[in-house]
Amino acid sequence: MQLISKRFIKRILLTLGILAVVGGICLIDGFYIEPYYPRVIRQTVYINGLPSEFDGLKIVQLSDLHIVKLGKREERALKKIKALNPDIICLTGDYIEDDGITPGTYTWQECAEEAYRFFGELKAKYGVYACMGNWDNMEIIPCMEKLGIHVVNENSTVITIGRKKLLIRGDSEKQPAPDIQTTIALIHDPDGVDSINESGNHVDLTLAGHWHGGQVGWPFRMSDVKYLAGLYQVGDTQLYVNRGLGMHSIAVRFNCPAEITVITLRPVK
């Protein structure tokens, strides 16, 4: 009887030890690895009627930066983006952190200055394009534009490659531009894709963010969110939802690493 009791105690201790090790690994991953070591996610998007001039076009998408200061995460992200040599960079909102994670540590203006330093390092062959997020102060738009970023919240811009035209628009663009072969929409909240479809104006690809992929991907996945992360087919448009580079409310990511998306456009054959 005493021998059985000792075996039972050993099993309990072994189980607790394994749980402690696994829990420790999860904590290290969630608080120190996934939030600060951005992962490059590659996604091919196939588009009907894509001109040969746009075949292989490489778009880097960033979203939900929530910048407080330029730290190791931002430095690693910039290094990876530079190595990717993108044709286009698209930013989909929430650039500057409020006091959600570090209350009272930095002023909004200090965080904004750090964000401008980050923006100034972004370079792409055909330019950098952005929409605003729900946390963004519109005061940052003139500063972004001075840095060469095209803000498309309520307007659009056209990229000409060869003789073909690519339209990049925001979610408030109502009138389709003439003689456009391919259209990309930048929105922050992915639910806006439903309004884009209802507008009747064709959009080939919509890029969004907002949800951070839930930040914690398991076991507390946000099941009530319609478009959480990844690629979706929504009516006539394809939607890609980026998991975000930064964090909000709590500085943790688990099974949901900080993301740099590389989207390659290809024609449907």
Tell me the per-residue pLDDT of 199-231, one tens digit each, with 9 for 90 and over. 878 899 999 999 887 767 665 555 678 999 999
Q: Report yes or no on 14 lying in a domain.
A: no
Cα dihedral 93, 97, 98, 104, rounded to 10, equals -170
Q: Report yes or no on 113 lying in a domain.
A: yes
Count how many domains the chain has. Answer: 1
CATH, residue 239: 3.60.21.10
Choice among 62-66, 179-183, 244-248 with the minimum mean pLDDT: 244-248
Domain with 78 in it: 34-267
pLDDT at 99: 57
DSSP state of 163: T
Q: Report yes or no on 43 lying in a domain.
A: yes
Flag whether pLDDT at 77 surpasses 50. yes
Q: Report yes or no on 28 lying in a domain.
A: no
Q: Report yes or no on 72 lying in a domain.
A: yes
What pLDDT digit, counting tens, does each position of 139-167 carry?
A: 999 999 999 999 998 888 999 999 999 99
Q: Report yes or no on 250 lying in a domain.
A: yes
pLDDT band at 171 (very low <50, low <70, confident <90, very high): confident
How far, in Å, CA of 2 to CA of 100, rounded?
Answer: 55
pLDDT band at 1 (very low <50, low <70, confident <90, very high): very low
Q: Report yes or no on 49 lying in a domain.
A: yes
For residue 110, give the H/E element and its range. Answer: helix 108-120
Q: Report yes or no on 119 lying in a domain.
A: yes
What pLDDT digit, counting tens, does each position of 3-14 carry?
A: 567 777 777 777
Flag whether pLDDT at 239 surpasses 50. yes
How far, in Å, CA of 112 to CA of 125, rounded?
Answer: 25
Flag whether pLDDT at 32 surpasses 80. no
Nearest to 123 by CA among 170, 81, 65, 168: 81
> What is this structure's pTM?
0.88
The CA R_g of the chain, rounded to the nearest whole Å, is 21
